[in-house]
Structure 1
C-alpha cells in the first residue's frame, strides 16, 4: 500500500494522527479514542474519533494490536510523521554542553568513543559511530624469515605505527627472495597507501617495469593484501549503551530485544548500513523494516555524517533503538553531535 502524502489528510485526520503518534512515542502504548478525546481538546466524541482512526488504519498509517482497542502508528505512519509533521526541537543548552564537554581535543579515537557514549546517555538508546577507515601510508615494509615456509611481513606506517603479519611462503623459497621483495618495496612503494601500492605493483608488473621475478612480485602482493583484507575486516563501528535497549517496557518483547542485540554484535552489517549515509549530505533516518537488517527487530537508526578537515565526509554518528524513539528530540541531538565532530576534525 502506498502511503498518502500528508496533504491528502483532512485537518481532523492530521490532528488525530499527530496525537496518536506523539502519545505512542511518549508511552509506548496503543492509544484509544477516549484518551485522544481527553488529550487533544478536539471537541469530538469518542465515536467520531474512532471513525477517523479507522480511516487512518485503512490507509496503513495506524494499526490495532489484537490485545488492545487502541491504535498505534505503523512504520509507514512513523515515516509520514517524521518526514511531514515532526517539529524538531533544538538541543537544550544542557544537552549541547554535555556533548561539547565529552567531545574535546586529543586523540580522535577517544573523541569518537565519547561521542557514542554521550549520545547513548542522552537518548537512552545505543550510541553508534562509524569510524573513518585508517589506511596506513607505507614508510617501511620488509620480510623477516621465520622458518622454511613462513615469514614475518613487517609494515611501518608514516605515523610510526608498526604491524606484523605472518605470511606463508611457497616451498623452496630462497632467502634472497625476501631481500629482493623488501628492496623493491622500499624503492618503489614507500609513501603510498596500501591501495595505491597494490595498484602500482599491478601496473608495473603489467607493463614489465617491475624488475622483479614472479615469485617476489607474488610475495609482495600477498603481503600487501594481508593488510588490506585485515583493514576491511576490522570493526569500524563503535557501539556504546547496548544496555539501554533493555528496559522494563521490553519485558513483553524480549525476542525483539534479543534480535536487536544480535544485530549490534554483527558490527559489519550495521557499518555497511551506516556507510550508505556517508554519501548523503545530511541526516538519515531508517525506520524498522525499511532496511532489511532491522526487519526482525523493528529498530530505528538516526544517523548524520561528519566531515574531516578537507570537507569530505569521513564517518557517521548516530543512535539505534526501538522505533518508539523521541525523533523530535534525538534527530537534532545527533545532528549537533555530527557538527561538533566536524569542528573537531577541522
Structure 2
C-alpha cells in the first residue's frame, strides 16, 4: 500500500491523526475516540472523531487490533507521521552528558564503544547497536605456504603479534620460488602499512611497473592482498547492548513478538547488513516494521545513523532497535548525538 501524502489529508484529519499517533506512542495502547475527545482539545465530539478515524483506517493509516478496541497507527501511518509530522526533541544536557561520560570512561576502544552503546540503550529504552569496521592490523610479515599445486596458505603477521591465515588459489604455472619471492616482496614493501594502505601501494607499484616480479608472482601478490581486504570489508564489529530493555511492561501482552525480536538480534550478520545499508546519506534512516524483511515478524523499528570521520568518510553506523511504538521524536536526535560521539572516539 502506498502511503498518501500529508497534503491529501484535511486539516481535521491531520490533527486527529497526529494526536492519535502521539497518544499511542506515549501509552503503547490503541486509542479510542472518547479518549481523544478528552485529551486532545480538538473540540470535536467522540462521534466526529470516530468518523475521522474510520476515514484514516480506510486510508491504511490506522488499524483496530480488535473489534472493540481503539485504533493504532499502521506501519504506513507511522511512516507518514515520521516523515511529515514529527517534531524532533533535542537530547537534554543531562542525556548528552550521560552519553559523553560513558564514552570517556577508561578502557579499550571496544569498551568505550560498548559503554556508549549501553548509554544509548538506557536513555532510549531500546537495544543500542554500533557497527564499526574491524581494526586493521599493521603488517609486519607476509608469507605463502604451499598446500597443493593450486592452493596456498597466505599467512599475515601483524605488528601487534597477531597471526591470521587465509587460503588463496594459485595462478597456473606458479612454482615454489615464485611463492617465496611474492612473500618476500610483500614483507619488504608493505611492512608498517595497514591492509588498506597496502592495497593502494601494491596497485600503484604494479600499475607503474615498479614491482620486480614475474607475471605469476605478481598475480599471487594481488590475490594475497585481495583475499584479506575483501574479507575484511565484510567483517565489521557489531556491538548490541540493552536487549533486556525490550522486555518492558507493555511487552507483557506481546511476548511472542518480543521473543521473535530477541531471536532476530542473535543473527548479528543480518543486523550488520541492515545497519550497513544506512551508510549512504547524512541523516538517520528509520526502518519501520515490515518495511524491512528482517523485522517484519517482530514488528520492530530500527533507527540508524552513519558515523563520519573528519574527512567525511563513513567509519561506522550507530542505531537502536525497539518496538514500532518507540518515541521517534526523542530517539532520532539521540541517535544523531551518539553518532557524533562515536565519530570522536574513532578519530
- Structure 1 and Structure 2 fold alike (TM over 0.5): yes
The answer as to whether partners of 2:132 and 2:237 remain within 8 angstroms in 1 is yes
Structure 1 residue 45 displacement after superposition:
1.5
Map 1:138-177; keep pairs closer than 5 Å: 138-143=139-144, 153-157=154-158, 160-165=160-165, 167=167
1:96–1:204 Cα change, 3 Å = closer
Structure 1 residue 229 displacement after superposition:
5.7
Map 1:252-291; keep pairs closer than 5 Å: 252-291=253-292
1:198–1:210 Cα change, 3 Å = farther
| Corresponding position of 1:113 | 114
Structure 1 residue 314 displacement after superposition:
0.9
Three-state SS of the structure 1 residue aligned to 2:277 is helix
1:138–1:251 Cα change, 3 Å = same
| Corresponding position of 1:310 | 311
| Corresponding position of 1:335 | 336
Structure 1 residue 236 displacement after superposition:
2.4
| Corresponding position of 1:211 | 213
| Corresponding position of 2:91 | 91
Map 1:6-21; keep pairs closer than 5 Å: 6-21=6-21
Q: What do the CA deviations read for 1:17-40 (whole angstroms, capped 9, x no partner)? A: 122111111121111111111111
| Corresponding position of 1:132 | 133
Map 1:35-50; keep pairs closer than 5 Å: 35-50=35-50
| Corresponding position of 1:64 | 64
Q: How many residues align?
A: 342
Three-state SS of the structure 1 residue aligned to 2:65 is coil
Normalising by structure 1, report the TM-score: 0.84
Three-state SS of the structure 1 residue aligned to 2:278 is helix
> Take 1:241 and 1:315, find their aligned partners in 2: how far apart are those partners?
19
Deviates more, 1:1-10 or 1:190-199: 190-199
Three-state SS of the structure 2 residue aligned to 1:303 is strand
Structure 1 residue 339 displacement after superposition:
1.9
Deviates more, 1:188-197 or 1:116-125: 188-197
1:331–1:208 Cα change, 3 Å = closer
| Corresponding position of 2:299 | 298
1:228–1:23 Cα change, 3 Å = same
| Corresponding position of 1:123 | 124
| Corresponding position of 1:79 | 79
Three-state SS of the structure 2 residue aligned to 1:278 is coil
The answer as to whether partners of 2:131 and 2:238 remain within 8 angstroms in 1 is yes
| Corresponding position of 1:324 | 325
Structure 1 residue 188 displacement after superposition:
3.9
> Take 2:234 and 2:289, find their aligned partners in 1: how far apart are those partners?
26
Structure 1 residue 193 displacement after superposition:
4.5
1:195–1:312 Cα change, 3 Å = closer
Structure 1 residue 15 displacement after superposition:
1.8
Map 1:25-40; keep pairs closer than 5 Å: 25-40=25-40
> Take 2:203 and 2:138, find their aligned partners in 1: how far apart are those partners?
15
Q: What do the CA deviations read for 1:291-331 (whole angstroms, capped 9, x no partner)? A: 22222222111112222243322111110111010111111
- What's the C-alpha RMSD, in Å, of the aligned pairs? 3.3
> Take 1:96 and 1:72, find their aligned partners in 2: how far apart are those partners?
32
Structure 1 residue 176 displacement after superposition:
5.7
Structure 1 residue 230 displacement after superposition:
4.8
Three-state SS of the structure 2 residue aligned to 1:304 is strand
Q: What do the CA deviations read for 1:222-255 (whole angstroms, capped 9, x no partner)? A: 6545534653553521111112222332233233
> Take 1:310 and 1:115, find their aligned partners in 2: how far apart are those partners?
23
> Take 1:103 and 1:331, find their aligned partners in 2: how far apart are those partners?
19
Three-state SS of the structure 2 residue aligned to 1:31 is coil
| Corresponding position of 2:184 | 183
| Corresponding position of 1:100 | 100
> Take 1:150 and 1:47, find their aligned partners in 2: how far apart are those partners?
76
